């Protein structure tokens, strides 16, 4: 539920809570934005054990999510491969589970490498990096999306 101090801004269409997901073979990295779409915050990962859609739906409902952004693992040449097809299947299931929530994709190329680099720069052990990389990758994906969305809004205001 949005805080009362931002209710007018939200009603004016200036922001919403956005969920960012980094879909992986074993885990799904999760991040959530603030109501004003300024910052992405990493959340605990969701284990892929058959109940992941329910846990993501619960989080979306608890946080009042209006949009979900899923990282799309494109190849370096921009084409889709096997993993991208798996993500598209996940998105299809996500849309069935949460029909009222819009789902968008964001190019996730190099986000895992960026997350590993950032964790390494912070002095995290290899064990910690393995545990935290999905969360951080989701945060990077969502922060990129928020930046792109803000730039699009500025462009619209200038026109």
**pLDDT tens, position by position, for the chain (159 residues)?**
445 444 544 455 567 999 999 998 899 999 999 999 999 999 999 999 999 999 999 999 999 999 999 999 988 888 888 999 999 999 999 999 999 999 999 988 766 766 657 766 777 666 766 767 788 889 999 999 999 898 888 888 887
Q: What is the pLDDT of residue 13?
A: 57
* Backbone φ and ψ of 147, nearest 5°: -65, -45
* CA distances from residue 19 to 24, 33, 119, 155, 156 in whole angstroms, order as listed: 16, 6, 22, 24, 24
The pTM (predicted TM-score) of the whole model is 0.83
Instruction: Supply angle C-alpha 125, 140, 159, rounded to 5.
Output: 160
Alpha helix stretches (DSSP H) within 21-110? 52-63, 82-97
Q: CA-to-CA distance for 70 and 7, rounded, in angstroms?
A: 26
CB 17 within 8 A of CB 65: yes
**Domains of the chain and CATH, by start:** 14-158 (3.30.420.140)
85: number of Cβ within 10 Å: 11
Residue 147 token pair: 């930046």
Helix (H, G, I), strand (E, B) or coil at 107: strand
Who's near 67: CB < 8 A, 6+ residues apart? 16, 18, 19, 101, 102, 103, 104
Q: How far apart are CA 79 and CA 95, in angstroms?
A: 23
């Amino acid at each position: 539920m949005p805080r009362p101090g931002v209710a007018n801004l939200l009603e004016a269409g200036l922001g919403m809570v956005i969920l960012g997901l980094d879909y992986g073979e074993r885990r799904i990295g999760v991040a959530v934005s603030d109501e004003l779409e300024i910052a992405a915050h990493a959340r605990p990962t969701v284990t892929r054990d058959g109940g992941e859609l329910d846990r993501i739906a619960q989080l979306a409902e608890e946080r009042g999510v209006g949009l979900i952004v899923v990282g799309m693992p494109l190849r370096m040449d921009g084409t889709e491969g096997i993993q991208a097809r798996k993500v598209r299947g996940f998105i299809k299931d996500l849309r069935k589970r949460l029909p009222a929530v819009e789902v968008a994709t964001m190019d996730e190329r190099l986000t895992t490498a960026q997350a590993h680099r950032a964790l390494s720069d912070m002095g995290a052990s290899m064990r910690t990096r393995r545990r935290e990389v999905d969360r951080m990758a989701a945060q990077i994906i969502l922060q990129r999306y928020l930046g792109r969305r803000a730039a699009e809004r500025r462009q619209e205001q200038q026109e």
